[in-house]
Amino acid sequence: MRRGAILQLVLLSAVIGAAVTAVAIFIGWLPEQASKERERIDFVFWFTTAICIAIFALVASVMLYCVWKFRARPDDDSDGAPIHGHTGLEIAWTAVPTILVTGIAIVSTVALAQNERPTGDPLRVEVTARQFAWSFKYPEHGDLTTTILRLPVDRSVELRIRALDVIHSFFVPEFGQKQDALTSGETKLIITPTKVGQYPIICSELCGLGHAFMRSRVEVLPPSAFAAWVAEQRRALGGSPEQAGKAVFTENGCGGCHTFEPAGTKAEVGPSLDELSAQARGADQPLEEFVRESIVEPDAYVEQGFSKELMPETYDQLPDEQLDALVQYLVRGSEGGR
Ligand code: CUA
């Protein structure tokens, strides 16, 4: 009789466990896996999930079994037998969870500690967050500055993250980690991309009206393609003023919002840069001064028909050389098209 009950319980929990496992495994709950660190975090996730499934199957099967087996028959108004607890059971349901939770704590601690250590010599990238844009600077590559994060695959990267106004948070779901960007000091994040591809960069800390739009992307490239991109940018920055200016314009996403004929861009989120001369006259400023101020302090003068705080203020982070190149490029381009 007792053996039969245990067998029924075991069967019932096996069925429930199998069903829940199928739900866990066959539905794609997680984003694509694209970094070493993410692999470790996923291991912790599945380790914890396996424990949860086992406990759920056990509890659910005992519950269903009892509801079915000990239900009141019609017209049975008698009380249940008086019970005074069970010391053995109480010890078991205190000890087992303690062991499991300790296990999860140990596994997580090891994973997090490993995730804080880069393998080999990491590539350093300075990340600046500001309402509502990201900017990335490569100190090892002549302070090359971009708004799209490009990384070589299979090399650890050390992101040094900071914010200039309020708290933001750097998050690439495929990399599996978040790190706050603070105004009080630098935070660090180690990432070792394992898969070539493009992934979204998301701000995951409510930081103001434009929070939902504070997005960029990371492009993980084969090492040769990354080296080629760096070489090309540096060649352009060291080349003719035209090449340098265009490289800064392109890398910093200016064309995503502005029309500018010399660069062949046609976006209309912000004012057309082909009209800079007229706009400078409207602002009553010399052209070059006007262009520079509009880049580093976009809200100082806002063209009619456009609202304040639309243009991110991250561009004052551009190294002087790149800012000069950009200013000259815009001044020349708009003088040509006056
Ligand atoms: Cu920056 Cu949310």
| pLDDT on residue 338 | 43
Atom of ligand 1 nearest to the CA of 214: 1
Reported as type and span, the H/E element at residue 128 is strand 123-130
Ligand 1 neighbourhood includes 211 CB (under 6 angstroms): yes
Give the contacts of 151 (CB within 8 A, at least 6 positions apart). Answer: 123, 125, 157, 191, 193, 218, 219, 220, 221, 226
Ligand 1 neighbourhood includes 163 CB (under 6 angstroms): no
Segment 298-303 mean pLDDT: 83
Tens digit of each residue's pLDDT (9 = 90 or more) over 208-263:
888 998 999 999 999 999 999 998 888 887 777 778 888 888 888 788 888 888 88
Ligand 1 neighbourhood includes 326 CB (under 6 angstroms): no
Nearest CA to ligand 1 atom 1: 168
Ligand 1 neighbourhood includes 214 CB (under 6 angstroms): yes
Atom of ligand 1 nearest to the CA of 208: 2
Tens digit of each residue's pLDDT (9 = 90 or more) over 84-130:
888 998 999 899 999 999 999 999 999 999 999 998 899 999 999 98
Distance between CA atoms of residues 190 and 157, nearest Å? 6
Q: Please, what's the largest Cα pairwise distance for the chain?
A: 98
Atom of ligand 1 nearest to the CA of 166: 1
Ligand 1 neighbourhood includes 244 CB (under 6 angstroms): no
Cα dihedral value 202, 135, 190, 203, nearest 10: -20
- Look up the pTM and report it: 0.78
pLDDT band at 171 (very low <50, low <70, confident <90, very high): very high
Segment 44-73 mean pLDDT: 92
Atom of ligand 1 nearest to the CA of 207: 2
Mean predicted lDDT score pLDDT of the chain: 89
| pLDDT on residue 182 | 96
Ligand 1 neighbourhood includes 234 CB (under 6 angstroms): no
Q: Give 254 Cα–ligand 1 centroid separation in angstroms.
A: 20
Atom of ligand 1 nearest to the CA of 205: 2
Reported as type and span, the H/E element at residue 129 is strand 123-130
Segment 44-51 mean pLDDT: 95
Distance between CA atoms of residues 231 and 246, nearest Å? 15
Distance between CA atoms of residues 275 and 272, nearest Å? 6
Segment 275-286 mean pLDDT: 83
Number of DSSP helices (H) and strands (E) in the chain, helices first: 8, 12
Q: Give 190 Cα–ligand 1 centroid separation in angstroms.
A: 20
CB atoms under 10 Å from CB of 6, counted, come to 9
| pLDDT on residue 233 | 85
pLDDT band at 55 (very low <50, low <70, confident <90, very high): very high
pLDDT band at 142 (very low <50, low <70, confident <90, very high): confident
Distance between CA atoms of residues 303 and 281, nearest Å? 11
The yes-or-no verdict on residue 281 having pLDDT over 90 is: no
Ligand 1 neighbourhood includes 178 CB (under 6 angstroms): no
pLDDT band at 312 (very low <50, low <70, confident <90, very high): confident
Ligand 1 neighbourhood includes 207 CB (under 6 angstroms): yes
Ligand 1 neighbourhood includes 168 CB (under 6 angstroms): yes
User: 147 near 251, Cβ under 8 Å?
Assistant: yes
Collapsing DSSP to helix, strand or coil, 260 comes out as strand
The yes-or-no verdict on residue 304 having pLDDT over 60 is: yes
Segment 125-140 mean pLDDT: 91
Q: Give 169 Cα–ligand 1 centroid separation in angstroms.
A: 6
Q: Give 195 Cα–ligand 1 centroid separation in angstroms.
A: 26
Q: Give 129 Cα–ligand 1 centroid separation in angstroms.
A: 8
Distance between CA atoms of residues 9 and 155, nearest Å? 50
Atom of ligand 1 nearest to the CA of 203: 2
Ligand 1 neighbourhood includes 205 CB (under 6 angstroms): yes
